Structures are given as C-alpha cells and as structure tokens.
C-alpha cells in the first residue's frame, strides 16, 4: 500500500496544505531511526524508556489546539514546519507546524505501523531537517515526543 496515493493525502497535496519532499529525505530519516532504541521486534516503536528527555500525551482526549500547544513544548516546536514519515520508499509530507500536528489523525489514517513527524525549517529554499526533533504516532492512545 502506498500511503501517499490515498485520496485524503492526495487532497492535502492538491490543496497545497502538504508537499511531498524528495524520497532521499525519507531514506535519511530511516537511517536515523536505526540509531534509536527500538522495542523488539525490529520495526516496532521506539523504546521511550531509553529516551530520558521525552513527553507523552493521550492524544485522543485532546483538542487540536491542545495538541498543538503540547507539541510546541517539544524540540519539534522550535521548527516552522513538520514532515510526516511513512517509510523509506515514500516521500515525507511537508506541512506547516500547526496544520501537521492538528491533522495527525488524517495523516496517519490507513498507514500501518508507527509513523513519525520530524521538524523542518526552510532557509533560502533549502530544507533543514531536524531528525532529532520528532514525535511518534503508533495508533495507540499515546503520542511520544522528544523534549
């Protein structure tokens, strides 16, 4: 399944709310994830007990505005944009910070496994990806993010 071909994602792209990034960025983020402590089996989520500076929130109990406010307290909150990572073979989707956080449910709908949002700043038309500034969406009730 190619998540970025789903109708709801294509609508976000067509409306200009999301922009596909070069696939190489997805591959680079996948390499970064390999350096993170993962729960076994491989491909499962981050082992957050091994990341001391993190925060978690029960996202289904929060409004979009509360999620955005929480995300601003994370390292991710220092960035102007965020990118949603699906896998190493699909492009990440670039969005404005508040839009990306407020639409996590839509962005992850139909996407199997853990998904990650990382910070991006744009300088003179170039993307500066902040891979260490990320949060994880597993489909469970908690979001985890690096502080």
Per-residue confidence (pLDDT) for residue 17, from 0 to 100: 97
Question: What are the pLDDT digits (tens) for 110-129?
Answer: 777 789 999 999 999 999 99
Per-residue confidence (pLDDT) for residue 73, from 0 to 100: 97
* Helix, strand, coil percentages in the chain from 3-state DSSP, rounded to 5: 35, 30, 35
Residues 6+ apart with CB under 8 A from 109: 6, 8
Provide the strand spans (E) within 14-123.
Answer: 19-20, 54-58, 81-85, 93-96, 115-123
Per-residue confidence (pLDDT) for residue 63, from 0 to 100: 94
pLDDT < 50: residue spans in the chain? none
Per-residue confidence (pLDDT) for residue 54, from 0 to 100: 96
Per-residue confidence (pLDDT) for residue 29, from 0 to 100: 97
Per-residue confidence (pLDDT) for residue 145, from 0 to 100: 96
pTM recorded for the entire structure: 0.91
The tokens describing 7, both together, are 């109708």
- Give dist(CA 92, CA 136) in Å, integer: 14
Per-residue confidence (pLDDT) for residue 95, from 0 to 100: 98
Per-residue confidence (pLDDT) for residue 1, from 0 to 100: 59
Question: What are the pLDDT digits (tens) for 53-67?
Answer: 999 999 888 999 999
Per-residue confidence (pLDDT) for residue 55, from 0 to 100: 96
- Give dist(CA 76, CA 67) in Å, integer: 12
- Give dist(CA 78, CA 133) in Å, integer: 9
- Give dist(CA 21, CA 91) in Å, integer: 5
């Amino acid at each position: 399944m190619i998540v970025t071909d789903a109708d709801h994602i294509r609508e976000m792209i067509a409306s200009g709310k999301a922009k596909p990034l070069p696939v190489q960025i997805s591959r680079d983020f996948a390499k970064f994830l390999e350096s993170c402590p993962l729960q076994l089996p491989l491909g499962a989520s981050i082992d957050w007990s091994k990341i001391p500076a993190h925060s978690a929130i029960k996202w289904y109990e929060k409004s979009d505005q509360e999620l955005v406010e929480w995300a601003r307290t994370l390292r991710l909150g220092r960035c102007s944009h965020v990118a949603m990572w699906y896998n190493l073979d699909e492009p990440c989707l670039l969005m404005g910070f508040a839009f990306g956080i407020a639409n996590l449910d839509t962005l992850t709908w139909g996407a199997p496994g853990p998904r990650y949002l990382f910070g991006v700043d744009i300088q003179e038309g170039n993307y500066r990806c902040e891979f260490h500034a990320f949060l994880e969406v597993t489909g469970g009730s908690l979001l985890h993010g690096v502080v």
